[in-house]
Amino acid sequence: MNASLSRVDARSGARLFSGLGMRQKQVLWAWSFLAVPVLFYAVVRFYPTLEAFWISTTNWNLLTKPSFVGLANFKRLLADPVFWKVFGNTALYLLLGTPISLLLAFTIAYHLDRVRFLHGFIRALYFLPFLTTAAAMAWVWRWFYQPVPIGLFNNLLAWLGIAQQPFLRSTTQSLPAVLAPAIWAGLGFQVVIFMAGLRAIPNTYYEAARIDGVSNGTILRRITLPLLKPTIVFLVVFSSIGFLRIFDQVYNMTSQTSSDPGGPLNATKPLVLMIYQTAFSSFDMGYAAAQTVVLFLVLLVVSLLQLRLLKDR
Amino acid sequence: MRGLRGMLLGLMVSVGAVAGAKAQTVEIEYWQYVFDARVKAMNELIKRFEAANPNIKVKQTTFPYADYQTKIAAAMPAGQGPDVVQLFYGWLDNFVGAKFIQPLPRDAFPPAAIEKEFYPIVSAMKRDGEYYALPTAVRSLALFYNKKLFQEAGLDPNTPPKTVDELLDFAKKTTKRDGAGNMLSAGITLDFPGQDYHWWRETLLRQNGGAPYSDDNKKVTYDSEAGAKSLNWYADLQRVHKVGQVGFMDEGQAAFRAGRAAMTIDGSFRLGAFGGIKAFEWGVAELPASADGKKANFASYWVNGITTKPTGEKLEAAKKFLAFVTTPEAMQLWLETVGELPARKAAAETEKNLNHPIYGPFLKALNYSYATVFVDEMAQRQVSLDMLNRVLLQNQDAKAALAEAAKAEQPILDRFYKK
């Protein structure tokens, strides 16, 4: 009975479909294909995002029913010294990480572009860290930073007769110490993108410039950099978001089995790590959601600013 | 539509039939987190329990530690989840507050008997006169020492330090450095995020006459003279005497295992890991007493409780099962499989166990142990950790560091007890 009914439905459906115009059919097809990712995004991305806004106004701790507390979580956030410390750290990761990595990547790409000898091999070497698992890499670097007798860097310093450095055990050195492998890991990717950008600049410009007897510096400033702008903008956006969301390097380099993630004294803690701890160690979901909303706003502002930059062209 | 309804009806009838056929055997569900030795021990206990109670079946479900609490929190409100559940003693207030577990029925678990037969630390499971959960096993801290390094330093490898002064003296003798003063081998490991923060809070602080929290646990009380004295003593191990160094060999237990630390303070749960050491012999001793002979130790444990889910015959089955896993027999099995200590005095303090060179010191400690009542273990640990870091990395005065820590920890307690 049911089966025959649905067969009737199918038949009338087919008639309905054939009654549509070409354009309407195309739209229908497009939407039926789009339905899967749209549904996926709605359920997996957009719904939780909206839910996070709601949770940020509750005191939900996973165990009890959430109750509405208004903006109390945000007030607590503004008064929390750890939050401001962490906010500053996140900004430092961004403001140090992005320019340093881009400058390094460009310098390497610019010179590597001229190297013919073993070109592919050298490029592969630069790209290799990008393929490594962040956790594995962070652990190796963490051991590099250990004191004598197991730390590579400190053994080297001791051999040179220089005093040991605390690196990860210092409130001032630990953030750069964590940032270094993060930059190193992303370098390969940026070098490859820069080189693709450099290759895309037509040779005729350079030839014309040389015929006119223009110096290398001027070529770089007047031809290479302006024509490389789309690449630069892409990499700036890409790596800024990366540094704003830095997590695995910090977590793996600073947490011990019985953990001080983001330490010592929160010197290396980024916002994402604070959110993670608030949510999944303290189970303070409302407060964690409030932090997430702040991170969302920061990412939004940074992205909008950079979109603006793109439009300038 | 009618087809669907018919199908549903059929399904319901058949489910009912299956349930009817199984009415004689009761199935209850038991949850714990994944830890090989514990799962193995529990499987063995379930086997023995089912043999003794053929009409009860126990289904064990395990989750990775990281997801464990989340899974319970998600399952319980939905009416799913375990009938008997394992939880860390520090989670009790959360579980009671969320109505996940019920008070242990007095007929099967009379409070007076619990108080008489179990170690006093179990009283942390009591709320308003009712016990909510019971442990099978407990853990305490002890001093592990490397006999080979003791011998090399001219110390008797069978005489571990008995007082904190001796500990310092022995540590000085066993520390090794290179010409430039870099540490090659530590006298004692300094690993605050490991077990040292428990050692400081429940042992050193109390030996100096202090207490970490008020009796009702609602006030931080370590911001005191005793607090400053004990914190300074601990920090001086690195600052003044240089017999240990935070972060040396990454972790305290790693340094000890590599034979690069003469002494380390760790829990009974470390026995398994240290059991694999082949390069040297090691011994276990009670935590050193203070100069005037005062002893204190930190104990922690996992407990089993009955959730609010089972009623009727399931509740009866759950009661029987919980009673079984807290029998002396179960505790001895747990000791031999997992290495954790029996929670019943009588089961723990047998001649054989007390004279055991490794279990002995841990067991003796249970008589003078304190179980800290945490409301948010992670956050509270972070506070202590930051306190020591300010002293060691930023040369903050111990008194100021304690005051700042108390100021950070009090709101954590307040937020919890306000609820």
What pLDDT, on the 0 to 100 scale, is given for residue B74?
Answer: 83
Q: What pLDDT score does B8 carry?
A: 54
Banded pLDDT at A61 (limits 50, 70, 90): confident
User: What mean pLDDT is reported for chain B?
Assistant: 89
Whether A64 sits inside 8 A of B98 (CB atoms) is yes
> Are A148 and B73 within 8 A, CB to CB?
no
Q: How confident is the model at residue A103 (pLDDT cuts 50, 70, 90)?
A: very high
Average pLDDT over residues B283-300: 94
Q: Which residue of B has its CA nearest to A81?
A: B408
Place B21 in a pLDDT band, splitting at 50, 70 and 90: very low
Consecutive H or E run containing B330 = helix B328-338
Give A181 to chain B, closest Cα distance, Å.
Answer: 18
> Given pLDDT bands bounded at 50, 70 and 90, which one contains residue B55?
very high
Per-residue model confidence (pLDDT) at position B336: 84
Residue A14, min C-alpha distance to chain B (Å): 22
Q: How far is B250 from chain A (nearest CA, A)?
A: 7
The Cα angle at residue A99 between residues A94 and A105, in degrees rounded to 5: 125
pLDDT on residue A162: 86
Residue B15: pLDDT over 70: no
pLDDT of residue B324: 95
Determine the residue among A256, A273, A284 to mutate to test chain B binding: the one whose Cβ has the most chain B Cβ atoms within 10 Å.
A256
Question: A148–B184: do the CB atoms touch at under 8 Å?
Answer: yes
Q: What was the pLDDT predicted at B288? A: 96
The fraction of chain A above a pLDDT of 90, given in percent, is: 40
Helix axis angle, A174-200 to A229-244, nearest 10°: 150
Which pLDDT does position B10 carry in this prediction?
Answer: 53
**Could B247 and A143 be called an inter-chain contact, meaning their C-beta atoms sit closer than 8 Å?**
no
Other beta carbons less than 10 A from residue A252's beta carbon: 21
Q: For residue A264, give the nearest of B376, B379, B389 by CB distance.
A: B389
Q: Nearest C-alpha of chain B: how many angstroms from A21?
A: 34
Best probe of the A interface among B67, B88, B101, B393, by most A CBs < 10 A, is B393
d(CA B403, CA B258): 37
- pLDDT tens figures, A248-274: 889 888 875 446 788 788 899 999 999
A264: chain B residues, CB-CB within 8 Å: 386, 389, 393
Residue A66 clears pLDDT 90, i.e. is over it:
no
Out of A170, A256, A280, the one facing B251 most closely (by C-beta) is A256
What distance in Å separates the CA atoms of residue A66 and residue A73, rounded to the nearest whole number? Answer: 13
Answer whether B26's CB lies under 8 Å from B318's CB.
no
For the residues A206-235, what does the mean pLDDT come to? 90
Q: Across chain A, what does the average pLDDT equal? A: 87
Mutation target for A interface from B87, B190, B250: give the one with most A CBs within 10 A: B250
pLDDT of residue A6: 53
CB pairs below 8 Å between A and B: how many? 88
* Interchain proximity B183–A150, CB inside 8 Å: no
Between A214 and A255, residue with greater pLDDT: A214
> Quick check: B386 and A266 CB within 8 A?
yes
∠ CA B217-B221-B226, nearest 5°, is 140
A288: pLDDT strictly greater than 50: yes
Residues with Cβ within 8 Å of residue B23, at least 6 apart in sequence: none
- Give the contacts of A187 (CB within 8 A, at least 6 positions apart): A101, A104, A105, A108, A126, A129, A130
Res. B317 pLDDT band, cuts 50 70 90: very high
Digit-coded pLDDT (tens) for A104-153? 999 999 999 888 888 889 888 888 888 888 888 888 998 899 888 888 99
Residue B3 pLDDT: 52
Query: Which residue in A has a C-alpha nearest to residue B193's C-alpha?
Result: A258
Residues of B with Cβ-Cβ distance to A162 under 8 angstroms? none
Q: Give the model's pLDDT for residue B264.
A: 97
Asked whether the beta carbons of B342 and B331 are under 8 A apart, the reply is yes
Instruction: Tell me: pLDDT of B12 over 70.
Output: no
| Residues 6 or more apart whose Cβ sits within 8 Å of residue B223 | B402, B403, B405, B406
d(CA A159, CA A128): 29
Contact B247 A168 (CB under 8 A): yes
Average pLDDT on A78-103 reads 93
What is the reported pLDDT for A257? 44
The pLDDT, as a whole number, for residue A20 is: 79
Residue of A nearest to B374 (CA): A282
Note if the bond before B288 is cis, omega within 30 degrees: no
pLDDT, tens digit, 9 for 90 and up, residues B331-371: 999 988 888 899 999 888 888 889 999 999 999 999 899 99
Can you tell me the distance from the alpha carbon of B359 to that of B285, in angstroms, rounded to the nearest whole number? Answer: 10
Q: Which of B73, B260, B379 sits opposite A62 (nearest CB)?
A: B73
Give yes or no for residue B110 having a pLDDT over 60: yes
pLDDT of residue A256: 57
From B70, B95, B379, residue closest to A282, measured CB to CB? B379
pLDDT band at residue A10 under the 50/70/90 scheme: low
pLDDT band at B1 (very low <50, low <70, confident <90, very high): very low
Instruction: Look at residue B398 and tell me whether its pLDDT is greater than 90.
Output: yes
> Cβ separation of A169 and B393 shorter than 8 Å?
yes
Q: Are A61 and A283 in contact (CB under 8 A)?
A: yes
Q: Which residue does chain B place closest to A159, by CA atoms?
A: B180
Report the chain B residue with the minimal C-alpha distance to residue A62: B73
Q: What is the pLDDT of residue B20?
A: 47
Dist CA B134 CA B257 (whole Å): 33
Using beta carbons and an 8 Å cutoff, which residues of A are at the interface with B?
A: 1-2, 61-64, 142-143, 146-150, 158, 161, 164, 166, 168-171, 256-260, 263-266, 277, 280-283
A256:B379 CB<8 A: no
Task: Kindly report, residue by residue over B145-202, the tens digit of the pLDDT.
Answer: 999 999 999 999 999 999 999 999 999 999 999 887 888 999 999 998 889 999 999 9
The reply to whether omega before A149 is within 30° of 0 (cis) is: yes
Indicate the pTM of the whole model.
0.79
Q: What is the pLDDT of residue B128?
A: 87
- At residue B329 the predicted structure's pLDDT band, cuts being 50, 70 and 90, is very high
Q: Do A63 and B73 touch (CB under 8 A)?
A: yes
